[in-house]
Amino acid sequence: MRRDGPLGDIEGAGILLSPEFALTAAHVVGDPDHAVWLDFPEVRAPDGAPAVPGVAATVAPGGWFPAAHDPADGDVAVLRLAGPRHQGTPAPLSRRVPEPEDALRIGGYPVEQDDGMWVRATQSGPHGQLYQLDPRAQREVVRPGFSGGAVLNLATERVVGMVLRRYADDEHDRPAEERAYLSYMIPVRRIVQISPTVRRLYALTQGELGEYGRSLDHWFDRVHEHGGEPAVRITPVVRDGGHAAVLGQRLHRADLVLDAAGAATRDLADRIARAGPCRDPDAPVVVVIGVDEAADPPSLIRLLGQCALRGARLLLVIRERVGPVWERLVVELRLPSVVAHCGDLLVRLRRAEAEHDRRWKGGSLAGKPHIEPVAVARYTEYARLASLPDPFRQLRAADSLAARLREDLTHVEARCGQSSR
């Protein structure tokens, strides 16, 4: 965190809350009316270059909470980035205050450590709204450049607080080993209480909304893998609700985002044809928002079916999980994609079982019981899908079969020492 642009001196650290917001200590910012500069030195490309460009930031509306010393509290600034930084990973937050025995890690940017460093600590009790942090060793004391830095609970890998102050017993005439070196953090629990912005962002990571976000991340992470995820996902999302906010945080992961509300199919087709470069040209990821709000949903579904046949991965957002549009999406797009997914998993399972048999017969799995193959039985289940009279029953059966196939793969590949992803 720098005050005077990208070439200014480092004043402290910060915590990325979302692609648009960051958190730091108010005294690191100094003047709430002036911009600061954020760098992301920990995130590197394979060639060592910074993977997240630096960006200016200003105090968000309602995001300034100056320090109060009696009792100790505040000293928080919520920053809005001048441009979103989707390449960065927002910090996972926890409102749980760590126990005294919990191992903590603190990140900061002291002098001549522009790439940052971590020190270890434990917490030893409250001081007003803050908590005292004790270093695990004298060489791991918090020093200038750590203010605004994250305090990470190593057991949960979640951020539980932010460093605000330090105390160095350097002025007293006593042996170094008898001097006190302390720091203080404000817990996430308190930050959530005083900042509506942090409270809102935190809520998007908890409970049902948090689970929804993780499921979207899982789909984006694995949709390009052979047998990873079905190529078509349908997700009901109410406009302007919590799920819409969670989805919005992840739209940058798509190659193309289309707002279908009121749009003609020919216009959407033209946008698809004019789409720019994709991460995988043979399998672009396309998000279509409001399929059931399009001017002509049936013709749009036919267009999306053609995209799926050409390899596109489709995340289809609808407003209501009922009605003819939902039914057509299930029958014409989701069901074929799940059945194809099961076929991919079967191919992987048969290969994994063949590799297991080869290793077992060759003696490299000596002492381990032989795994009885199940691919033939699973193929029988797969063949029966088409005989089910109702497409919704077919979809439920296909989803269930896919889950069993993933479990089978995990078991066999783990035994062979292979990836179980």
Residue 209, burial from CB neighbour count under 10 angstroms (0-12, 13-18, 19+): middle
Cβ atoms of 376 and 394 within 8 Å: the answer is no
User: Tell me: the pLDDT tens digits for 254-305?
Assistant: 999 999 999 999 999 999 999 877 778 888 999 999 999 999 999 999 999 9
| pLDDT-based confidence at residue 170 (cuts at 50, 70, 90) | low
Kindly tell me if the per-residue pLDDT of 420 is higher than 60: no
Given a cut of 60, is residue 421 above it in pLDDT? no
Asked if residue 80 lies in contact with residue 55, where contact means CB atoms within 8 angstroms, the answer is: no
DSSP H or E segment with residue 288: strand 285-289
pLDDT digits 0-9 by tens, 313-359 = 999 999 998 999 999 999 999 999 999 999 999 999 999 888 888 88
Q: What is the DSSP-derived secondary structure letter of residue 241? A: S
Give the pLDDT score at 226: 63
- Tell whether domain 210-321 is in CATH 3.30.420.40: no
Structure confidence at residue 362 as a pLDDT band (50, 70, 90): confident
| Band of pLDDT at residue 115, cut at 50, 70 and 90 | confident
Cβ count within 10 A of residue 211: 12
In this prediction, residue 365 has a pLDDT band, given cuts at 50, 70 and 90, of low
Written as six digits, the tokens of 173 are 């005439």
Tens of pLDDT along 27-47? 999 999 999 999 998 887 777
The pLDDT of residue 114 is 79
Q: Please report the pLDDT score of residue 278 as a whole number.
A: 79
What's the pLDDT at 251?
92
Before 71, cis peptide (omega within 30)? yes
Q: Which residues contact 350 (CB under 8 A, 6 or more apart)?
A: 375
Beta bridge partners of 81: 57
In this predicted structure, what is the pLDDT of residue 410? 87
| pLDDT at residue 177 in the model | 63
Do the Cβ atoms of 83 and 77 come closer than 8 Å?
A: no
* Domain 104-203 is found in CATH 3.40.1350.10: no
How high is the mean pLDDT of the chain? 90
Name the pTM for this structure: 0.78
Which of 98-112, 156-170, 351-365 has the least mean pLDDT?
A: 351-365
Q: What pLDDT is recorded for position 391?
A: 93
Tell me the average pLDDT across 222-231.
80
pLDDT greater than 80 at residue 24: yes
Taking the C-alpha atoms of residue 254 and residue 341, their distance in angstroms, rounded to an integer, is 20
Residue 162 backbone dihedrals phi, psi, to 5 degrees? -135, 135
39 near 66, Cβ under 8 Å?
Answer: no
What does 148-184 look like in DSSP terms, one character per residue? T-EEEETTTTEEEEEEEEEEE--SSSS-GGG--EEEE
Residue 63 token pair: 């995001």
The span from the CA of 95 to the CA of 80, in Å, is 22
Question: Between the CA of residue 243 and those of 36, 89, 203, 274, 320, what are the distances in Å?
Answer: 31, 19, 11, 29, 13
With tokens 């039914």, the residue in question is: 327
pLDDT of residue 419: 42
3-class SS of residue 286: strand
pLDDT of residue 178: 61
Rounded CA-CA distance 162/341 in Å is 44
In this predicted structure, the answer to whether residue 147 has a pLDDT above a threshold of 70 is yes
| Domain ranges within the chain, ordered by starting residue | 15-81, 104-203, 210-321, 336-421
Are the beta carbons of 80 and 63 closer than 8 angstroms?
yes
CA atoms within 13 A on the CB side of 211: 2
- Residue 224 pLDDT: 76
Phi, then psi, of 126 in degrees rounded to 5: -80, 155
| pLDDT at residue 384 greater than cutoff 70 | yes
Give me the DSSP letters along 26-82: HHHH--TTS-EEE--TT-B-TTSSBSS--EEEEEEEEEEE--EETTEE--EEEEEES
